[in-house]
Amino acid sequence: MGNIVNISFLIPSERGTEALQNLTLYYVIKGSAKLTSADGNRLIMQEEDVAAVNAGEDSKIEVTDGVTAAIEFSREQIYSLLDGKKRYVECCSVNVRTGSFNNLKEKVKKLLGSMFRDELSSVAFEKNSYDLLLTLLSEYSREVMTGGRKDEVNNWIDNSYKNVITLESAAEYFHLTPQYFSRWFAEEFGLTFLKYLSNVRCKNALKELVSTDYTILRIALDNGFPNSASFTKAFAEMYGETPLKYRKKHAKKSETVRLQDDDIKKYIEVIDTQHSENRSVVVDCRENVERLKPYWTALCNLSNIYDLANYEMQSQVRQLQESMRFKYARVRLDYREKETGSKYYMEGRAMEFLLEMGLSPLFVIDYRLCIQNDGFLPWFQGFASHIAMRFGIRKMYLEVLYDSVFNSKKSREYHTFVEIIRKTLDKIKMEYTIGGPGLLLNHDGSNLVSFIKDNPDIDYISIKCAPIEIGNDSNANVRRVTESDYFLHQYRLAQEVLKSGGYEKEILITDWKNSLTGFDILNDSSWIAARIVQSALKGYGILTSLPMDYPLDLMQNMDSSGELQMFNGSSGLMTINQLKKPSFYAFSFLSHLDDEYLYSDENMIITSSNSSYFQILLQNVCPLSYQYYMYQQKENINENIPDEFFESKTPYKVTLVLEGVEDISWFAKIRKINENDGNVYNAWLQMNYKDMSFMGRDEMEMLKSVSFPKMQGTTLHAIDGKLEIPIEVLPNEIQHIHLIPIR
């Protein structure tokens, strides 16, 4: 099916070592398989494992039991799609424990499932083929630099030999005259262009000759020859005998066993991609009531201690805290030489503000910065003494940050530094809890293994989460991750590492990124608000914290110079001008939920207050498409977000049934933030102002007035203890419903 993908299904048998003509992705549907590379490296693939083999690489696949799918992507189609650029696919889920291949596996299942759909089978197959290929190329590959013109010409021939090619057309493709191209080619390749092209065609035809029962004419035409006579002549010149004689001598029975469609179906679950319009959720409000665990308010990142003495920063933090009531503030202790002023004056102002806001400080010490600063330890001892005497603080919560690919030497150096911090605090009789090192785990958690081995006495483990996966090889390869719950996989990997080592320690996420870069067009949109709520719901009951890396745009711009744009894709909840972005309301809605937890799933959470009032928070985040991941940061980020960034944009419809409520009328106060309502970024775009220089007081007041949720109310009636609530949540919308009894 299709012209970009060919799929074969393999059962227990052995395929001989061969150089694959096309990029091939193996997927174990059921059972297990062994994949051996040319250098003898063997992978044991289990159920749902995926592994890619690039075109031209030698490999051998042996299906141990069950069935494995071999998905081959046309080399010529890839060449055309990439406009001649070369990419090397690195994709293997074996031994990767972070779950970062879940998205790819789902795309494989969709492709396989679309083979057996009763309706629109070919259309679905074609779409899913391109979707899977583009995911591989955009997320699991790296560009291979060409070695100059010779490499480019060779690559072009390898991917174009099946077409009608002349010396003139080849020269024109590379913008050269036929005379110059002919002379240059002979010097570089040692053969004339047409002879070299004929040899390439014969080499590729030979593979079909010995492994298929195709006719000589079909093989000739499939490999670029105009007829069987020209193929026979060229083949005989190269191999010393005709294709027919060569086939009789060397033909071998294929060792690859293929299943018939009826056999395949029993292994593949056809995925239904249709959205259910009649979904309902029933919640019994009389049972399973427990205290809500609002871990999303546990921790807030608040830059460094000197910035917190800044009036503008305090003003914005105050707005955050008044709405969200965070418990701990993560504050960096970056020692700076001061020319004038009282000792610890700026630090004291910052501490006064934190305590006024009801925030307990979690102080961060950056090992890399502090180890190089001789003045840090004396300053730190004085600072600890100062806050103990002035503010009565008797215990410090510390995180010693050192995000590194750990080895024994680095781990021991880190341990030595932490011991110095401990002795410093012991000297002034200050209690402490010290954690670290703020790792972004690599794909198998080996960097945490290296760290904990030399730091078993660390009080807690801090990690940061980002949608990337770091390899543990010498090149430290980085791969983009598209799974929306990547932070859960990374958190659970840390748990698994500690458990396997016999350690019982709390794991704290201290830094959470939703984008690869610090500036992303989606950070100003309603999509990020829905993503935040989705992430909070997925982590409920599992995580203890999930703080944004920079909750205020101002934090990323404190040290910037020049005029700052109001919307620049920063990840904060508020702009530098204190305009509330959709993401602000994601945390605000979460923070105002009631104390009693009733129910949650990926789309909603329901809480109550003494079973008399109910709050429902919903989200409908749209899945991102491969086009978003192919998107490169542009100089002017102030633009509309294209629909092509999303794989689909479908409303979420559900009927929520609350059982065990009073048979009275209920008033539903509904607040919404979506792409059109409460979205200050879209309002800014619609103004069509070129830059900040055109902004005056009236414009700012107008933007402030639209940066609020859309509000509406409706009256509902409970019958026989059941309250039915029809709900529709638009794409990339968050919705908060407050149910109030009418008595």
Q: 9 and 138: one domain?
A: yes
Q: Tell whether 496 is covered by a domain.
A: no
CATH of the domain at 218: 1.10.10.60
Q: Are 12 and 110 contained in the same domain?
A: yes
Stretch among 70-84, 442-456, 499-513, 605-619 having the lowest mean pLDDT: 70-84
- Same-domain check for residues 118 and 19: yes
What is the residue whose two structure tokens read 């996966």? 469
Mark whether 23 and 136 lie in a shared domain.
yes
Dist. CA 684–CA 687, nearest whole Å: 5
Tell me, yes or no, whether 81 and 207 share the same domain: no
Q: Which residue has the higher pLDDT, 87 or 542?
A: 542
- Element at 608 (helix H, strand E): strand 604-609
DSSP code of 260? -
User: pTM above 0.85?
Assistant: no
**Res 97: pLDDT:** 64
Q: Indicate the average pLDDT of the chain.
A: 84
**Is residue 145 predicted with pLDDT exceeding 80?**
no
Given 200, 234, 250, the domain boundary residue is: 250
β-bridge pairing 395-401 and 360-366: parallel
**CA pair distance 503, 497, nearest whole angstrom:** 9
Tell me what the mean pLDDT of segment 355-368 comes to: 94
pLDDT band at 429 (very low <50, low <70, confident <90, very high): very high
Last residue of a domain, one of 250, 284, 307: 250
d(CA 470, CA 477): 6
Contact residues for 24 (Cβ-Cβ < 8 A; gap 6+): 52, 53, 70, 71, 72, 73
The reply to whether 255 falls in a domain is: no
Boundary of a domain, candidates 115, 144, 173:
144
* Residue linked to tokens 């940066």: 707
What is the distance between the alpha carbons of residues 319 and 154, in angstroms, rounded to a whole number? 62
Residue 258's pLDDT band (boundaries 50, 70, 90)? very low
pLDDT at 268: 58
Residue 545 in this model has a pLDDT that exceeds 70: yes
The pLDDT assigned to 673 comes to 95
Q: Is residue 696 part of a domain?
A: no
Same domain flag for 130 and 241:
no
**Residue-level pLDDT at 734:** 97
What does the pLDDT look like over 6-23, one tens digit per residue? 888 887 865 555 667 788
pLDDT band at 634 (very low <50, low <70, confident <90, very high): very low
Cβ contact 613:738 at 8 Å: yes
User: Contact, 90 vs 25, CB < 8 A?
Assistant: no
360 domain residue, yes or no: no
159 and 189 together in one domain: yes
- Structural domain boundaries enclosing 69: 5-144
pLDDT tens figures, 42-62 = 889 988 899 998 887 888 888
What mean pLDDT comes out for the span 713-736?
A: 95
Residue 497: band (very low, low, confident or very high) from pLDDT cuts 50, 70, 90: very high
Tell me what pLDDT residue 324 has: 93
d(CA 27, CA 126): 19
**How does strand 506-512 pair with strand 460-465?**
parallel
Cα–Cα distance between 530 and 731 in angstroms, integer?
A: 9
Question: pLDDT tier at 615 (50, 70, 90 boundaries)?
Answer: very high
- Place 1 in a pLDDT band, splitting at 50, 70 and 90: very low
- Average pLDDT of the residues in 716-723: 94
354: phi > 0 → left, psi -120 to 50 → alpha, else beta; which? alpha
How many residues are present in the chain? 743
Distance CA 123, CA 104 (A): 20
pLDDT confidence of residue 340: 40
Q: Which of 326-340, 425-439, 491-505 has the lowest mean pLDDT?
A: 326-340
What are φ and ψ of residue 486, in 5° steps? -55, -35
**Confidence check: pLDDT of 254 > 90:** no
Tokens of 378: 């004396």
Average pLDDT rounded to a whole number, residues 327-353? 81
pLDDT band at 117 (very low <50, low <70, confident <90, very high): low
User: Which of 243-252, 277-286, 366-375, 380-389 tops mean pLDDT?
Assistant: 380-389
Q: Is the pLDDT of residue 273 over 50?
A: no
Q: Are residues 89 and 172 in the same domain?
A: no
Least Cα distance to 693 among 560, 563, 554, 553 occurs for: 563
For the cut 90, the answer to whether the pLDDT of residue 355 exceeds it is yes
Region 696-717: what's the mean pLDDT? 90
Q: Mention every residue, 6+ apart, whose C-beta is less than 8 A from residue 402.
A: 366, 367, 368, 410, 414, 436, 437, 438
| CA pair distance 618, 673, nearest whole angstrom | 11
94 plus 167 within the same structural domain: no
User: pLDDT grade, residue 152 (50/70/90)?
Assistant: confident
* Domain containing residue 69: CATH number: 2.60.120.10
DSSP string, 215-234: -HHHHHHHTT-SSHHHHHHH
Give the pLDDT of residue 255: 44
At 226 the pLDDT is 87
Q: What is the pLDDT of residue 467?
A: 87
Q: Are residues 187 and 213 in the same domain?
A: yes
Burial-class residue 223 by CB neighbours within 10 Å (0-12, 13-18, 19+).
Answer: buried
CA angle, corner 272, sides to 266 and 273, nearest 5?
145
Does 121 share its domain with 178? no
527: pLDDT confidence band, cut at 50, 70 and 90? very high
Q: What angle do CA 438, 442, 447 make, to 5 degrees?
A: 65
Q: Assess if residue 494 is contained within a domain.
A: no
pLDDT at 278: 57
- Assigned domain for 531 exists: no
Structural domain contains residue 221: yes
Q: Span 220-227, mean pLDDT?
A: 87
pLDDT at site 252: 59
Instruction: Say if strands 23-37 and 42-45 run parallel, antiparallel, or are unpaired.
Output: antiparallel
Domains identified in the chain, total number? 2
DSSP characters for 45-82?
E-TT-EEEE-TT-EEEEEEEEEEEEEEEE-HHHHHHHT
Closest CA to 285 of 596, 738, 537: 596
pLDDT mean over 730-739: 96
**Nearest alpha carbon to residue 533 among 619, 596, 624, 646:** 619
Query: How many Cβ atoms from other residues are within 10 Å of residue 202's Cβ?
Result: 22
Binning pLDDT at 50, 70 and 90, where does residue 130 land?
A: confident
What pLDDT is recorded for position 137?
Answer: 81
Write down the pLDDT at residue 644.
81
**Whether pLDDT at 480 is above 90:** no
DSSP state of 269: P
Lowest mean pLDDT among 112-126, 140-154, 374-388: 112-126
Least confident of 232-236, 417-421, 736-740: 232-236
DSSP states of 453-514 as a string? HH-TT-SEEEEEE-SEEE--STT--EEE---TTHHHHHHHHHHHHHHHTT---EEEEEEE-S
- Amino acid making up residue 341: G
Q: What percent of the chain has pLDDT over 70?
A: 87
Q: Is residue 244 part of a domain?
A: yes
Query: Is there a single domain that holds both residue 203 and residue 119?
Result: no
Residues of the chain above pLDDT 90, percent: 42
C-alpha torsion sign, points 548, 297, 396, 359: positive
Burial readout 578-607 (b: 16 or more C-beta within 10 A, e: otherwise) = bbbbbbbbbbbbbebbbebbbbbeebbbbb
CB 729 within 8 A of CB 652: yes
- Chain centroid offset of residue 135 CA: 12
Alpha helices in 357-436 (DSSP H): 367-370, 376-391, 408-427
